[in-house]
Amino acid sequence: MLLEQTHEKLIAMKLYGMALALKTRLERIDHQSLTREEFFSLLVDDEWLYRENRKLVSRLKVAKFKERAAALEDIDYRTPRDLRKTQVLELAQHTAGSKPTSASSSPAPAAWARATSPKPSAITPAATASACSTCVCRRC
């Protein structure tokens, strides 16, 4: 009875993610050995993730992307951009796995910079001389 009242109060306070997580986490056997602090921390994390996911979904709806089913497999590598399929897939593997604590601890940013930066032979003096004077980046 106490659990149902708590669940109803969470819903009344609009803590939908926590209300859903409370029931599912209490049913799990591996959560029985958690301390109160650990259990509560997991519930708060679930609520935070629930809200972040809702924000993301609403932003994606507003964004109005042209192609909704974009995937790495659909990239056209024939276009001369110096992209290699192996590098892109390797970067996708690094980002899909565990998140590094800092950018320097992962080889993915360096590999991406190498894959997307122009080769020295591609930069000509004529290309650098045509930079406009109003732009800060001096590349347009």
d(CA 1, CA 130): 75
Q: Closest Cα partner for 50 from 25, 20, 22, 24?
A: 20
Which pair of structure tokens corresponds to residue 112? 């991406």
pLDDT for residue 127 is more than 80: no
pLDDT for residue 115 is more than 60: no
Give pLDDT, residue 87: 85
Q: Closest Cα partner for 75 from 85, 65, 64?
A: 85
Give pLDDT, residue 42: 94
pLDDT for residue 27 is more than 50: yes
pLDDT averaged over the chain? 75
Confidence label for 126 from pLDDT (cuts 50, 70 and 90):
very low
> 30-34, 92-96, 108-112 — which is least confidently predicted?
108-112
pLDDT for residue 28 is more than 60: yes
Per-residue pLDDT of 35-89, as tens digits, reads 999 999 999 999 999 999 999 999 988 887 777 677 777 788 888 888 888 888 8
Higher pLDDT, residue 89 or 112: 89
| Angle (nearest 5°) at CA 28 between 24 and 33 | 125
d(CA 60, CA 54): 10
pLDDT for residue 101 is more than 70: no
